[in-house]
Structure 1
Amino acid sequence: MNGVMLFNSPPRARIHLCLLKGASRREKHSQTVTSTMWLLVFIAWLLVWLGCTYWYLFGKRSPFSLNSVRPPGPREFDQKKRDKVIKQGFSLDKVPRDLDVIVIGSGIGGLAAGATLAKAGKKVLVLEQHDQAGGCCHTYIEKGFEFDVGLHYIGQLHKNSLLRIIFDQLSEGQLEFQELNPHFDTIQIGQGEDKREYTIVSGKTEMKSHLLKQFPDDAEAIETFFKIMKISAKKTHYLATLKLIPQWLSLFLLKSGIADLLSPVFRLSGTCATDLVNTLTANKDLHVIFSYLFYGVPPKDSSILINALLVHHYKRGAYYPKGGASEIAFNIIRTIQKYGGNCLVRAPVSQILVDDKGAAHGVKVRKGGEEVAIHAPVVVSNCGIFTTFQKLLPPEIQVKPDIQERLNMMKHGRGSFLVFSGFDGTEEELGLESTNFWLFKNNDMDKSMEDFFSLSKEEAPDNIPMMFITMPSSKDPEAKIRHPGKSCMTILTMVKYEWFEEWKDTAVRKRGDEYHNYKMRFANKLFDWACQLFPKIKDKLVFQDVATPLTNMHYLGAQRGAMYSAEHNLERFQAEAVARNRCHTPVKNLYLSGQDVFSCGIAGALHGGVLCASAVLDHIVYIDLLFIKKKLKWRQAKELALLARKKMQ
């Protein structure tokens, strides 16, 4: 019927209808062309994005390689030769020309960033205010005794571990580590007849099974905690990734809930340790075990993920640097020097130079009564966020809202108090051992720490609730060679900076009798407590030195004497806070490194340095490290297969 109607229609109507049909076909064709064009645009955009992503991840030259790692050379025992590396005093003629990067502070975070950047082709200068490089990795020798000040033991250094690979790359294979006894920690809770003792051992399965033997009624709680430990070990790199990808993308993933779908690590990071362990068990002693590696923050204010990560850190063994903690700085500085850089001490930085456009372009160094300007297009600060933003930036930059916003994310950490004791006698004669001891007067860490830090200055020395004891001379097999017939012990506890604040404007070793008597009240209580475990040391004590928060400020540049830098509280480890607290700063070309970037301790500061180097290079160097790890595992598998074939022949 339609055909008949069309045939009988007037010519003008038929022409009009044909025109309509032609227009319709052209419109459809145009739509097809448009769709095709947009598809091609999308494919082109996708290819460009994939290409740029590939180039960002893999297109830049890696600073690391297997070829740079060589067998360890003979240990350098000549102190004068060592001092030329770790005690090289500042002068302008020792500053390399055409600098690319200035690093403020020679702690492990600064050295890690510096060495990575040096191996990437950057000319690096590390500046240290103390007379010896190394920060918390340095040691000091007095009266024939050598003391470590911050490094007491390190974990995750088993063969082909990521941390071991990083140390090998930064030192180019020159750092060696001694594995300690499997029983690496002893925890004592209570006093007198009420004292309970627990032991922590390393081993993939042994750590958990040993703990289950000591707490047979809490098997489910231990199983759950070890599951959290496993998540912390395998997924914490997700938190690091939040700092490496663009901040807007990190926040989008977190706020949209996508991150939580990917892993529980983001939720656990912001979970209160006390709240979680209370759901696992009512056994207060086990609560202590889950949080015994204290860093100045009570469990009620700390992250369960961080506490679990610290315990897991030693699951595959505890280690100590052969030759002492100063070997770390000695060998990493030599790497920086090999690539044209240098590390200079007695070089206190007084100001970070910022140009009219708000970009950092160098520093001022105090030399005698003068200030010397040194220029570089990139400045890395490893001296903590508070010192960097509140002391080193020009006043007009300090008050900017984005600087204050970053500062408000952090709180000052607790001060550290250390007692260094030297004894005439070997470890066998004195009954010392490589095992560390953690002592707690009771099993309520939250209450004991809260009560202690609320005490007055006069009450505090008589009410110390906890302490840590380590014997560095028993950990390093070469200590007997360097210091024969001598043994040493380091005791550590946490204190309030305010108890010592009245002497902050006095000079080191010239603070007066009142200060000396006050700090010795703490020291004597701690040492007497240690003598209960090691009674033979009391009569063999020939040297003792005491470090208060003021001491740590002077020698380590630690703000308010906090060796663990900014407080590692629960708020800091909320996933969004982790994403915002990154190496980039509001000041262009100024970057942060060390403990304030990621987490506390030697390993935490080291990762802070590697994260910082990634930010400066705009290249995720962890990908390079993971490729090296994969190659090493392949090599190990081939060696094992070859060995198996030889045995079968």
Structure 2
Amino acid sequence: MDGPDRFRVLPTHSFDVIVIGAGTGGLTAAALLSQRAKRVLVLDQHSVPGGNATVFSRKAYRFDVGLHYLGGCHPNGLIPRILRAAGAEPVIFEEMDPDGYDILIFPDFVFRVPKGIEVFRERLQKTFPEERRGIDRYCVLLRSLEQILREPAHPVKTPWILLRSPLLLCWANRSFGDFLQSCTTNPRLQAVLAGQHGNYALPPSRASLLVGAGIAEHYLEGAYFPRGGGQVISDRLASAIEAAGGKILLKSLVQQILVHNGRAVGVRFESPYLGFQEVQARYILSNADIKETFLRLVPDGVLRLQTKERARHWEMAPALFVTYLGVRREALGNRLTRSNYWIHSSYDHEIQYRQAARGEFPEAPSVYVSIASLKDPMDDAHAPKGIVNLQLMAVAPSQPEAWGLSAEEMHGSLYRRNTLYRKHKEAFGKRLIELSRAVFPRLHEEIVYQEFATPLTHSRYTLSTGGTGYGIAATPKQFLFGRPEAKTELPGLLLCGASCRTAHGIAGVMMSGLRAASVILGPRLITETLGKANTISSS
């Protein structure tokens, strides 16, 4: 039986809450609110809900857009708890290889990142026996971060936790690279500890310590992949919204937030089916790109000049290039575990980011390899029988000029026809394939399908600034209190998403949706959703 019409039907023009953007944060907030009797409308310009947590199909392949692995998915974990509170049907999470969910490949050695801080510490000390003291120091920090991440239901306690951890208190506003330098001067060990930098798309010298070590700790409790891919989470949340009486309207581009008497009261949107429409609500919750929200959607003259100037100068996280492949299973050789691969051509993680920031194509970028067919073996929709669904990702320039494009060509999708753009896209995609042969020597011989996506592709589908999927760059200056909270200076306007204080990633944006919903429903929602703080991270 067909579900509700998500394109042509707008039953009313008055709601309690309007959510701009059907990304994971927006869907989470909308589901939590709908389950608690709020009349919610979710608007999104794309044809499917989910933002980065979507899939797309090509022939017999199904590729994930932005979800490649998750932490916090054990039965009592953060993500299952929020999904339950949102009224979503259960999602099955497949655990990745606990002996090496991330495999770091360097020119002269390999390091498998295992589940558990203590196992991780022992493996590091076995690999680097002369660095025991620095490794212990790093793991003390991970334990302190683990304590903070156990208390997301009680954000007020965070400053007191910092006071209980002198190490965290001293380094909370410093870079990840600075802290690593305080632990060790060994470039190989530093490269291992920052070897998953693609998870926050910043080099160690520029990443906040809290994001670099915090994301590492997040996965050390166990890494998972949702059975069926990222779209399953989005679909479960969308169904929960509709089952509770909420409305989702797709192919609906919000043009402006409506403001009356100093309060956000509605939005104006355009749909190919409904034309221009205006809808009203007591609260407007923007899950859209943060710069898009403050600099375009809110009318001029509403926000303070300082607020707009701050938004204008926010540095966004670098964007990623993706090579989507279907390869014959023989290409994997004996590498058949449920693992990600991080292929590093050197110990220096900095150069590639400097090159991308200058609008250059990195010569030897780190390549992240995700193999959905191995992480989710029960689902045969990822690729035809005997073929493996594989993705290669690396940081890339987001400036249109780097791709041979003018600003005028960026309106709409005509830029894709530009000969120079296509040439650059093909060349960089093949460069990632070549670099990946360090792990899969026969990869280039076994390809049966390939497709490339640039930062410009990502921007076209998600309307994100520069094509980033990570929001505001997680630098020390732009982390924690350097990021916006759910409430804004404009009454009635709330925020959620990757640029908020809870940071990026599925867990981060779900928390942002929970925080935003709690502004409307009251702070008890967080405690009721997550329960006692000391059980949040227990396995």
TM-score (norm 1): 0.75
Match of residue 304 from structure 1: 209
Is contact 1:382–1:592 with CA below 8 Å preserved after alignment? yes
Q: 1:230 to 1:124 in 2, by over 3 A?
A: same
Match of residue 25 from structure 2: 109
Q: 1:537 to 1:235 in 2, by over 3 A?
A: same
Q: Distance in 1 between matches of 2:333 and 2:127?
A: 30
Match of residue 308 from structure 2: 404
- Equivalence map 1:451-470=2 (5 Å): 451-453=354-356, 455=358, 457=360, 460=361, 463-470=363-370
Shift of 1:157: 1.5
Match of residue 185 from structure 1: 102
Q: Distance in 2 between matches of 1:117 and 1:553?
A: 28
Match of residue 507 from structure 1: 413
Match of 1:594 among 497, 517, 523: 497
Is contact 2:337–2:374 with CA below 8 Å preserved after alignment? yes
Shift of 1:237: 6.8
Is contact 2:151–2:536 with CA below 8 Å preserved after alignment? no
Shift of 1:293: 2.2
Match of residue 100 from structure 1: 16
In the alignment, structure 1 segments of 5+ residues that lack a partner are 1-79, 637-649
Q: Distance in 1 between matches of 2:246 and 2:311?
A: 31
Pair 1:569-2:472 in alignment: no
SS of 1:299's equivalent in the other structure is coil
Task: Kindly provide the amino acid, as one letter, of the partner of residue 91 in structure 2.
Answer: L
Shift of 1:624: 1.1
Task: Kindly provide the amino acid, as one letter, of the partner of residue 217 in structure 1.
Answer: E
Pair 1:175-2:91 in alignment: yes
Q: 1:200 to 1:407 in 2, by over 3 A?
A: same
Q: 1:414 to 1:526 in 2, by over 3 A?
A: same
Shift of 1:185: 0.8
Match of 1:233 among 146, 169, 174: 146
Q: Distance in 2 between matches of 1:618 and 1:196?
A: 51
Match of 1:478 among 378, 391, 399: 378
Q: Deviations over 1:603-647 (max 9, x none)?
A: 11111111111122232422113437889999x9xxxxxxxxxxx
- Equivalence map 1:358-369=2 (5 Å): 358-368=262-272
Q: 1:411 to 1:620 in 2, by over 3 A?
A: farther
In the alignment, structure 2 segments of 5+ residues that lack a partner are none
Match of residue 441 from structure 1: 345
- Equivalence map 1:305-344=2 (5 Å): 305-344=210-249
Q: 1:510 to 1:112 in 2, by over 3 A?
A: same
Q: 1:330 to 1:506 in 2, by over 3 A?
A: closer
Task: Kindly provide the amino acid, as one letter, of the partner of residue 80 in structure 2.
Answer: R
Q: Distance in 2 between matches of 1:468 and 1:111?
A: 28
Q: Deviations over 1:449-469 (max 9, x none)?
A: 354235554xx25x1321211
Match of 1:549 among 455, 476, 496: 455
Shift of 1:491: 1.1
Is contact 1:89–1:347 with CA below 8 Å preserved after alignment? no
Q: Distance in 2 between matches of 1:296 and 1:334?
A: 32
Q: Deviations over 1:457-502 (max 9, x none)?
A: 4xx25x1321211111211123226644132111111122122353
Q: Distance in 2 between matches of 1:433 and 1:603?
A: 24
Is contact 2:51–2:462 with CA below 8 Å preserved after alignment? yes
SS of 1:163's equivalent in the other structure is helix
Is contact 1:414–1:562 with CA below 8 Å preserved after alignment? yes
Is contact 1:96–1:341 with CA below 8 Å preserved after alignment? no
Q: Distance in 2 between matches of 1:373 and 1:565?
A: 28
Q: 1:262 to 1:576 in 2, by over 3 A?
A: farther
Shift of 1:406: 4.7
SS of 1:621's equivalent in the other structure is helix
Match of residue 142 from structure 1: 58
% identity of equivalent residues? 26
Match of residue 29 from structure 1: none
Match of residue 35 from structure 2: 119
Match of residue 424 from structure 2: 518
Q: Distance in 2 between matches of 1:285 and 1:437?
A: 17
Q: Which structure would you say has the larger Rg? A: 1
Pair 1:393-2:298 in alignment: yes
Is contact 2:254–2:268 with CA below 8 Å preserved after alignment? yes
Q: 1:426 to 1:364 in 2, by over 3 A?
A: farther
Pair 1:419-2:419 in alignment: no
Match of residue 110 from structure 2: 197
Q: 1:138 to 1:508 in 2, by over 3 A?
A: farther
Match of residue 486 from structure 2: 583
Greater CA drift, 485-494 or 402-411: 402-411
Q: Distance in 1 between matches of 2:415 and 2:336?
A: 30
TM-score (norm 2): 0.90
Shift of 1:536: 3.5
- Equivalence map 1:592-631=2 (5 Å): 592-597=495-500, 598-627=502-531
Match of 1:206 among 119, 124, 134: 119
Q: Distance in 1 between matches of 2:150 and 2:441?
A: 45
Is contact 2:61–2:384 with CA below 8 Å preserved after alignment? no
Q: Distance in 2 between matches of 1:616 and 1:266?
A: 32
Pair 1:276-2:195 in alignment: no
Is contact 1:431–1:536 with CA below 8 Å preserved after alignment? no
Q: 1:506 to 1:110 in 2, by over 3 A?
A: closer
- Equivalence map 1:213-232=2 (5 Å): 213-232=126-145
Shift of 1:444: 2.1
Greater CA drift, 414-423 or 425-434: 425-434
Richer in helix (by share): 1
Q: Deviations over 1:359-378 (max 9, x none)?
A: 11111111239421111111
SS of 2:494's equivalent in the other structure is strand
Shift of 1:97: 6.4
Could you list the structure 1 runs, at least 4 aligned residues long, displaced by more than 6 angstroms after superposition. 237-240, 426-430, 628-634
Task: Kindly provide the amino acid, as one letter, of the partner of residue 472 in structure 1.
Answer: A
Q: Distance in 1 between matches of 2:365 and 2:499?
A: 27
Pair 1:488-2:384 in alignment: no
Is contact 1:177–1:320 with CA below 8 Å preserved after alignment? yes
Q: Distance in 2 between matches of 1:224 and 1:633?
A: 22
Is contact 1:497–1:560 with CA below 8 Å preserved after alignment? yes
Shift of 1:261: 3.7
SS of 1:132's equivalent in the other structure is coil
Shift of 1:146: 0.8
Task: Kindly provide the amino acid, as one letter, of the partner of residue 119 in structure 1.
Answer: Q
Match of 2:49 among 117, 123, 133: 133
Match of residue 15 from structure 1: none
Q: CA RMSD in A?
A: 2.9
Q: 1:455 to 1:405 in 2, by over 3 A?
A: closer
Q: Deviations over 1:405-449 (max 9, x none)?
A: 551673122122111112344887785542111122221223x23
Q: 1:409 to 1:266 in 2, by over 3 A?
A: farther
SS of 2:101's equivalent in the other structure is strand
Q: Distance in 1 between matches of 2:213 and 2:264?
A: 38
